[in-house]
Amino acid sequence: MSLVNGKRQADWFADEASAEADGPYAGIVFNRPIDQIFSYRVPARLEAVVCPGQRVRVPLGRGNKPAVGYCVRIDAEAPSGMDPSRVKEVIDVLDDPPLINRAMLELTRWMAGYYACSWGQALDAVVPAGVKNQAGTRVGTFLTVPDEIRKSLETLQLPPKQAEALAVLCRSDEPLTIADLCRLAKCATGPITALRQRGYVQTVRRRHSKDAFDAASVASDLDSDAKPIPTLTDEQTAVMAAMTPALEGDEFATFLIHGVTGSGKTEVYLSAIERVMARGREAIVLVPEISLTPQTIRRFRRRFGKIAVLHSHLSDAERHRHWRSIAAGEVQVIVGARSAVFAPARRLGLIVIDEEHESTFKQETTPRYHARDVAVKRAQLERIPILLGSATPALETWRNAELGRYLRLPMMARVGARPMPKVELIDLSHERLALGGLSEPLRQAMIAALKDDGQVMLLLNRRGFHTFVICPNPRCNQVLKCDACDVALTYHKGRRLLICHTCDAERPRPPACPSCQAPNLHYGGIGTERLEREVETAFPDYVSRRMDSDTMRMPGSHEQVLSAFRSGEIRILLGTQMIAKGLDFPNVTLVGVVNADTALHMPDFRAAERTFQLVAQVAGRTGRGDRPGRVLVQTFAPDHYAIDCASRHDYEGFVACELPERQRFGMPPFGRLVRLIGRGPDEAMVRTFMNELLEALKAAAPPGVTMHGPAPTPIAKIRNLYRYHLRLRSESPRPLQALLQAVAPKISPPGEVELAIDVDPVNLL
């Protein structure tokens, strides 16, 4: 985000004066990094039309180029201090009715203040592109038949061609243009012109959907294997009872459903949604993108029939259709990833966030919002309850529960008194991994599980075949890096390429070290591709399949593999965290974590938390059916509290070790962080700018704000842009917000340098 200084903002107004200067004024904001509301006069012809929440076209800047902005308020008089004779006029209104309702206007204004972006940028993030460009619709001249003609159709005396055309038009469910009708009635335009002259047919200019409503994505699921609704367990009943006053009473309350995997959290969400639906209200369910599997969707569809599913693979037209039908109140249940938090439900009664600890709820481009925190704010503004569910709540959420802001509702037993799976740690420092990734104990456990007709899941959170390539010359020993990024390249054997996982750049394998020309580069590290090869060699009699973003490129491939695994055709499923989340396969009796340490040594204060979550989540993938499950975790750090606690399913034990560490360093949840990232093609320029930024911040900093840096980010270069960051910390968010609001308008990064402001950062690389 680059910020514009005060002088340039003034240029956005015209120099020339417009004639009349009274009448209502519209406050307009733009999707630009300028935190200001601009006033425009509403001309008489638009007075009855313009209202807050619409997009409008207005002249902008010296050249008066038409620009699209969002109307956020209407004032009767010109704002004080403004010369009415210099105000420009609104040109026209793009949305009628408005796209944004009052609650969303308020929510986006809060976002702008909290996440240090402009109101216009926040608004722009709320409205999907497909809605802005009205994807999937067309404006045309459509034919209509007046009601009285329709009623007396049989009595009309008409030439055959005209009679036929009129009959076809009356029968059509879809709006027809003249060209459509010529085609369908197999006639020329003559008969239609004649019908219009007689007044039997009229024309209107309208916007219409191009095709019929997408039956597939909203249709009710008439699955034959529909299950009866289960009777709630005692724990589930207790949780529902605790939430009932809020569910039935228009009350803001945040509930944390802290339940182990398989404790029946999803069943509680379904019951809670039913309660608010019965009152004619709508529910939004946020899940991580990765959990938007057919399995999750089927479960919601079976229960509620018509639901809207908002995932990242929708076309603009589909997104637009969903938005319209949600805004029209045609769908009561909306299930989606991060941005579904903005779904334009009119009578929202409940928000549910499953796996609330997931980092994918954080958006990594401006506005850098966290969907969980935005959802809590939305619930507060709309005075409704919100349920956060997780087996491993984020420590921020846990702390909010400790402080009494959220009500924690524990669900500590699995449904049907199924035991939690037994987790065994395999200390890799004592194992010889001659074959590759699988230790002998893990191989033996796989043999046993497969012989016993069970299924196996293997998790390895690294794609590719070899995870690094290194020069064997001891005086060089360089790791091959991407040309554009400060990142080691991964070798993908199937494609015979070295690939950068940060920018996706590909290059052929060099015959020798690019730096010292030593031949015979050494390839090391194990990715999922190599693990797949190892499994195929070790278990040739069983079907195995790899699931990662390389093998799951085709639409539908995810679903295909999962259903083959469900049917038992695939016996071994291996992959990245894609397989760790939200899946429920009763016949999985063994889960192997090939390397639990991949996240442990990251330069990130959440490294331990991520490791704990990952191991605990995969461990929950087994023992969900009638057969007990077993989990084997390979690690070099079996004594680390994150791995030790995860192996004992001991969330509170983990928290007891981790929170004091966070408190000691003032890290979240005990302090607030803001990360300022400067990037640009010229490293010296970025560094100088960040140093100046530090000085500006220091001069304005209230007490209690500490600053670290500027320093190169852990990944110092991405896509040929050098990156430096400055970290601001304070005990509460207020002083940081005040500081950013005071300094941000004065910052103007030079040349090609860009500045991003990340409030409550999740990614620290």
- For ligand ADP, the closer CB: 436 or 625: 625
In the list 24, 59, 140, 259, the residue contacting ligand ADP (rule: CB under 6 A) is: 259
Return the structure tokens found at 502: 């940060």
Q: Which does 261 bind (CB under 5 to 8 A by kind): Zn ion, ligand ADP, none?
A: ligand ADP
Minimum distance of ligand ADP from residue 266's CB (angstroms): 3
In the list 263, 528, 576, 647, the residue contacting ligand ADP (rule: CB under 6 A) is: 263
Q: Which does 694 bind (CB under 5 to 8 A by kind): ligand ADP, Zn ion, none?
A: none
Q: Say whether residue 267 binds ligand ADP (CB under 6 A).
A: yes
Minimum distance of ligand ADP from residue 264's CB (angstroms): 4
Task: Show contacts with Zn ion in window 478-517 (CB under 5 A).
Answer: 482, 484-485, 500, 502-503, 505
Beta bridge partners of 89: 41
Minimum distance of ligand ADP from residue 252's CB (angstroms): 24
Q: Which does 485 bind (CB under 5 to 8 A by kind): ligand ADP, Zn ion, none?
A: Zn ion
b/e map of 601-612 (b: 16 or more CB within 10 Å)? eeebebbbbbbb
Q: Say whether residue 273 binds Zn ion (CB under 5 A).
A: no
265-278 and 294-304 helices, crossing angle to 10°: 40
Minimum distance of ligand ADP from residue 333's CB (angstroms): 16
Q: Say whether residue 121 binds ligand ADP (CB under 6 A).
A: no
Q: Which does 467 bind (CB under 5 to 8 A by kind): Zn ion, ligand ADP, none?
A: none
Where is 275: in which H helix or E strand? helix 265-278
> Is the CA virtual torsion 554, 555, 558, 563 positive or negative?
negative
b/e map of 430-446 (b: 16 or more CB within 10 Å)? eeeeeeebbbeebbebb
Contacts of 160 (CB under 8 A, 6+ apart): none
- For ligand ADP, the closer CB: 262 or 678: 262
- For ligand ADP, the closer CB: 6 or 230: 230
- For Zn ion, the closer CB: 186 or 495: 495
Where is 401: in which H helix or E strand? helix 395-402
Alpha helices in 44-188 (DSSP H): 102-115, 119-126, 129-132, 147-151, 160-171, 178-185
Burial (CB count within 10 angstroms: exposed 0-12, middle 13-18, buried 19+), residue 83: exposed
In the list 41, 55, 265, 319, the residue contacting ligand ADP (rule: CB under 6 A) is: 265
Q: Which does 622 bind (CB under 5 to 8 A by kind): Zn ion, ligand ADP, none?
A: none
Report strand pairing: 630-635 vs 422-427: parallel
Binding mask 203-232 for ligand ADP (x = CB under 6 A): ---------------------------xxx
Q: Which does 415 bind (CB under 5 to 8 A by kind): Zn ion, ligand ADP, none?
A: ligand ADP
Q: Are 431 and 425 in contact (CB under 8 A)?
A: no
Q: Say whether residue 286 binds Zn ion (CB under 5 A).
A: no
Using CA atoms in the order 749, 750, 754, 760, what is the torsion angle rounded to 10 degrees?
Answer: -20
Q: Which does 230 bind (CB under 5 to 8 A by kind): ligand ADP, Zn ion, none?
A: ligand ADP
Q: Are 758 and 368 in contact (CB under 8 A)?
A: yes
Distances (CA, A) of 539 to 89, 286, 447: 73, 39, 8
In the list 33, 191, 264, 454, the residue contacting ligand ADP (rule: CB under 6 A) is: 264
The secondary structure of 216-254 as a DSSP string is HHHS----TTPPPPPPPPHHHHHHHHHHHHHHHTT--EE
Minimum distance of Zn ion from residue 751's CB (angstroms): 23
Instruction: Give the distance between the most distant pair of CA atoms in the chain.
Output: 99
Using CA atoms in the order 280, 286, 290, 292, what is the torsion angle rounded to 10 degrees?
Answer: 0
Q: Which does 232 bind (CB under 5 to 8 A by kind): ligand ADP, Zn ion, none?
A: ligand ADP
- For ligand ADP, the closer CB: 318 or 355: 355
- For Zn ion, the closer CB: 352 or 487: 487
Minimum distance of Zn ion from residue 177's CB (angstroms): 50
Q: Say whether residue 266 binds ligand ADP (CB under 6 A).
A: yes
Q: Say whether residue 750 binds ligand ADP (CB under 6 A).
A: no
Minimum distance of ligand ADP from residue 402's CB (angstroms): 22
Minimum distance of ligand ADP from residue 299's CB (angstroms): 8
Number of residues counted as binding ligand ADP (CB under 6 A): 15
Q: Are 536 and 544 in contact (CB under 8 A)?
A: yes
Minimum distance of ligand ADP from residue 261's CB (angstroms): 5
Q: Which does 433 bind (CB under 5 to 8 A by kind): ligand ADP, Zn ion, none?
A: none
- Residue 687 and residue 681: Cα distance in Å, rounded? 11
Q: Say whether residue 415 binds ligand ADP (CB under 6 A).
A: yes
Minimum distance of ligand ADP from residue 270's CB (angstroms): 8
Binding mask 355-374 for Zn ion (x = CB under 5 A): --------------------
- Residue 135 and residue 322: Cα distance in Å, rounded? 11
Residue with the two structure tokens 């902008």:
60
Using CA atoms in the order 108, 404, 233, 387, what is the torsion angle rounded to 10 degrees?
Answer: 0
Using CA atoms in the order 14, 19, 23, 27, what is the torsion angle rounded to 10 degrees?
Answer: -10
Task: Show contacts with ligand ADP in window 574-603 (CB under 6 A).
Answer: 584
Q: Which does 503 bind (CB under 5 to 8 A by kind): ligand ADP, Zn ion, none?
A: Zn ion
- What's at 13, amino acid-wise? F
Task: Show contacts with ligand ADP in window 233-252 (CB under 6 A).
Answer: 233, 236
Q: Say whether residue 262 binds ligand ADP (CB under 6 A).
A: yes
> Is the CA virtual torsion 127, 128, 131, 132 positive or negative?
positive
Q: Which does 259 bind (CB under 5 to 8 A by kind): Zn ion, ligand ADP, none?
A: ligand ADP
- Residue 387 and residue 389: Cα distance in Å, rounded? 6
Minimum distance of ligand ADP from residue 226's CB (angstroms): 12
Binding-site ranges for Zn ion (CB under 5 A)? 482, 484-485, 500, 502-503, 505
Binding-site ranges for ligand ADP (CB under 6 A)? 230-233, 236, 259, 261-267, 415, 584
